[in-house]
Chain A
Amino acid sequence: MLAYTLRRLALIVPTLLGITIVTFAIVNLAPGDPVEVIQSGQVDSRISRESYQAMLELYGLDQPLYVRYITWLKRLATLDFGESFIDHQPVIRKIGERLPATLALNIASLFLALVVAIPLGLISAVKQRSLFDKIGGTALYMLYSLPEFWIALLLILLFGVKLGWLPFYGMESINAHELGFFGYVWDRLRHMVLPTICLTYGSLAFLSRFVRGSTLEVIRQDFVRTARAKGLEENDIIFKHVFKNTLIPILTLVGLLLPTLISGSIILESIFSWPGIGDLFFDSVSARDYPVVLGLSFITAVLVLLSTLLADLLYAWADPRITYE
């Protein structure tokens, strides 16, 4: 197991290197550069070519691509993500500033998704081909196919504007810090409701079908038949024997979902003006803020690789039949 883990960890290095080359190339070869964006999309003949060149030099963009890549990689090796081109703040600080907002939203969403999807999936499996299974499945697939930006706007219109029950943009009210601790928490929670719902509903179909599928597989196993033959209560069978075994694939799945916790939804964060990572990523791409875009891409890549590894390890840990020796 240890050897396997080490081997996998070692493999991450060349994979990451490949990823950095590709992302660096894509980000830098995309049309436009930060100096152009600083012009806000304008030319001004009064700006001489020399001063434009001087600006490129200021950002180190006058160097050939491979030189810039090596410079960037060298800094990255010391975990230095550089400074934003736009406001000259360290990239890591900018990311750190936005992380809590995205984490809060995504943890809430993942939690909600699991709490809803697991029971739904279980019931659908146990009552396979029942009306509940059919209607539930169809309804979830319909939800899955509804675009989230559209649902977001509908919810905003209904709960934010017509009924006026919930705030529909931002993370807190302007006077939030004057509300006292509980008032503040309450205010923050209210702001989370709509974005969390939008972030969650789409994944319900996928998750609950996944749970249903793996439950069905377990239910047909011999040991379940044995349990039934022994005359155990149906509830005991489902919760003690079936459910535990169903958890194994779910565990791996959750492992794979971990990177999405920090990556943030670009569309939803924009719609709800949620000051998170997705919002930062979008702003940075628009501004051709290469260091921030690269920093975020790199961190996401690392997380994806690590969580894949983690999922595999969890799998082996949860199911003793699986070994990687």
Chain B
Amino acid sequence: MVRRNAAVLFAIALGLCACVISGCGGGGNDDKGSVAMDTESGGPKTGGTIIRRIDSECKTLNWVLYTTAYEYWVLRLLYDPLIDFDENLELVPVLAESFAVSEDGLRITVKLRDDIFWHDGQPITSADVEFTLNKILDPGVPALNKAGYFNKLDHLDVIDERTVVFVWKEAYAPSLQSVAMLWPIPKHVYGTGDFLSHPANREPVGSGPFKFGEWRTSQYISLVRHDGYHGKKAYVDRVIFKVIEDDAVALNALRTGELDEMRTTQNQWERQLTDPEFEARFNKYHYYEPSYNYIGWNCRTVWFKDTRVRLAMTMLFDRESINAKIYSGFAKLVSGPFYINSWAYDRTIKPHPFSPSRARELLDEAGWVDSNGNGIRDKDGHEFEFELVITAGGNTAKQFAQLLQEECRQSGVVVKIRQLEGATFFDRIDSGDFDACMLRWRLDLDPDVFDTFHSTQIPPVGLNHGFYNNAKVDSLLEAGRTTFDQARRTEIYHAIHRVMHEDPPYTFINTVPEKRPINKRIKGVIISPNGPFDFTPGANYWYIDETNGRVASEN
């Protein structure tokens, strides 16, 4: 359920598990959840170079082997998926002409278009799809982040040159999304030679609107428009991905016009991008990727096994004021475990209010009262004194933790904050060895959260590290992943959302937007709910129109 990590800088330091609450947050103006597109009169112009930033050297441009967000951005222009999410998060065929799920949900038939070609002119066929899938599943190939999507795949049937059937072991609703995760790579290129050190890993032959140009180690990667592209041709001549590691330096490059876009930090967004000169030259976009921050409660502990205590802790945590103080009111509070822009998320369920008085009542009801007069609540000889683990280095997580600590103290609960280094932290989380923890989940677009909340998925099997156990949630989760009917699925996930609101596994905190200024000379930018890149057509059809930019800079 967790995938591509946009928070590259943090991820490096992190280790296993979703990434930690990190130093990013919201701040800014234009609120949007829907599709936004800036249109210009006169139509798109051809030509020019778009310059984008990547924050570190790419390790590879082999789609099967890539692991980081910036590699993904480059590959996104080089390769077309079989099927993909569009700007409304609906699945659409790309290299495929059509795709269909069988009645029983076990077979997904994908028919390829007959006019698709690799950049070297070879046709794209079923053999390439099969080859790519085999590489992903090859135990000698480090492609775990993709192989996970095909765990439940039984095999692939190659019917003919243009038709493949994904045959699944069981009816599994997220399987269509899994197929969308497959971007074929050319068999005739990668079929010979050592896959891991293949020369084409640094000089890829793709299928997308841009083809590989040049790679200068740790400096830049350039892509050029592929004029023989089978689909609609791109507008710009070149897209250059410059390596600029330092955020402050990158921001300066953005200002001097040497970059057209970059991801910014909360601090930069709030303090450094607000001058009129900048506002005049840049469109500032923010959007919510599928992720949320939470405090996980270990339901095996003497304190948090009681639903009332978990509810009380939620009400003791002033999420609104965090939003105001840390994110300038820019993050969105969440009330459940789904992506806020997904159909699965029930918007009628509002987050629990911040209410220390109600929390104290709940704690009293649960039997946690200060019976020995030491100022700390206790029950059956246990003091209410627990350890909250957070990762070292994350300033935001620490601020969150201290806020909770203070509120708890006033209500007779002692919180000991423990900062742990990445890998140690995740070892503790993965084995369920903690009282409470602060984390962030990154989600897939499919809402299946079986692995995180089903009672069978406790450590060491799955990701239910808080040992959450709710029979109703269990049966709903089972139903949700085997139901293909969209309306029915929506009901199921809304029901899960509802139950988890009443019997919370976590304190759901918020989701923090990505913040990205893009130079106004770039047109054709589409911001999907999921951001400007992670869908079809993504950034494929950006074009350059200098008029606006020039006027602006003369102001």
Contacts and interface: CB of A to CB of B under 8 A. Distances in A.
B142 A42 contact: no
A139 to B, nearest CB: 27
A55 B144 CA distance: 8
A39 B66 CA distance: 10
Interface string A166-186: 001111101000000000000
Interface string B206-225: 00000000001111101000
Most buried by A among B3, B4, B194: B3
A168 B249 contact: yes
Contacts of B5: 40-42
Contact of B201 (A44, A54, A87, A286): A87
Interface stretch (A121-129, A156-164, A196-204, A228-236): A156-164
Interface in B270-323: none
A47 interface: yes
B12 A287 contact: yes
Contacts of B151: 46, 48
B19 A42 contact: yes
A170 B242 contact: yes
B249 A169 contact: yes
Given A46-B451, A58-B140, A164-B256, A41 B15 contact: yes
Interface in B455-496: 457, 460, 462-463
B248 interface: yes
Interface residues of A, number: 52
A38 B142 contact: yes
12 contacts: A31-B424, A37-B67, A40-B69, A41-B16, A55-B142, A153-B248, A168-B253, A169-B246, A174-B242, A275-B218, A275-B243, A279-B245
Interface stretch (A212-220, A240-248, A266-274, A311-319): A266-274
Given A42-B17, A275-B218, A87 B60 contact: yes
Interface string A17-51: 00000000000000111011111111111111101
Given A40-B68, A40-B145, A271-B249, A97 B217 contact: yes
Interface string A39-75: 1111111111101101100100000000000000000
B197 A89 contact: yes
Given A52-B144, A273-B244, 18 more contacts: A31-B422, A36-B16, A40-B68, A41-B14, A41-B422, A42-B5, A54-B139, A98-B218, A153-B249, A156-B252, A164-B256, A169-B246, A170-B220, A174-B240, A273-B243, A275-B216, A275-B218, A286-B12
B245 A271 contact: yes
B442 interface: yes
A39 B256 contact: no
Contacts, number: 175
A161 B255 contact: yes
B150 to A, nearest CB: 8
Contacts of B165: none
A273 B246 contact: yes
Nearest to A280: B218
Given A40-B67, A43-B430, A286-B13, A87 B243 contact: no
A178 to B, nearest CB: 12
Given A58-B140, A174-B240, A273-B249, A283 B56 contact: yes
B25 to A, nearest CB: 19
Contacts of A43: 2, 16-18, 426, 430, 463
**B contact residues, range:** 35 or more
Interface string A286-300: 110000000000000
B421 interface: yes
A321 interface: no
Contacts of A39: 16, 67, 144-145
A160 B246 CA distance: 15
Interface of B: 1-5, 7-8, 10-19, 56-57, 59-60, 67-69, 139-140, 142, 144-145, 147-149, 151, 194, 196-197, 201-202, 216-220, 222, 240, 242-246, 248-249, 252-253, 255-256, 421-424, 426-427, 430, 442, 451-452, 457, 460, 462-463
Given A31-B424, A45-B451, A97-B217, A270 B245 contact: yes
Nearest to B462: A45
Contacts of B142: 35, 38, 55, 58
Nearest to A160: B252
A164 B463 CA distance: 51
A174 B144 contact: no
Contacts of A58: 139-140, 142
B463 A275 contact: no
A58 B140 CA distance: 6
A32 B423 contact: yes
A36 B15 contact: yes
Given A41-B16, A44-B2, A31 B423 contact: yes
Given A32-B15, A86-B59, A168-B252, A44 B148 contact: yes
A7 interface: no
A83 B243 CA distance: 24
Most buried by B among A32, A48, A271: A32
A153 B246 CA distance: 10
A298 to B, nearest CB: 22
Contacts of B149: 46
Contacts of A44: 1-3, 144-145, 148
A170 B221 CA distance: 13
B144 A38 contact: yes
Contacts of B18: 42-43
Nearest to B178: A46
A87 B197 contact: yes
A279 B218 contact: yes
A40 B11 contact: yes
Contact of B145 (A42, A164, A170, A171): A42
A87 B144 contact: no
Given A46-B151, A271-B245, A275-B219, A41 B256 contact: no
Contacts of B12: 37, 41, 286-287
Contacts of A161: 252, 255-256
A36 B218 contact: no
Contacts of B68: 40
Contacts of A157: 252
Given A88-B197, A157-B252, A42 B422 contact: no
Most buried by A among B5, B18, B57, B69: B57
Contacts of B423: 31-33, 36
Which 7 pairs across A and B sit closest by C-beta, in order of nearness? Answer: A46-B148, A31-B423, A275-B218, A41-B11, A41-B14, A45-B451, A88-B197
Nearest to A270: B245
A283 B151 CA distance: 31
A153 B463 CA distance: 42
Contacts of B245: 270-271, 273, 279
Nearest to B9: A286
B282 to A, nearest CB: 15
Contacts of A271: 245-246, 249
Nearest to A32: B423
Contacts of B2: 42-44
Given A44-B2, A161-B256, A168-B249, A51 B218 contact: no
B239 to A, nearest CB: 12
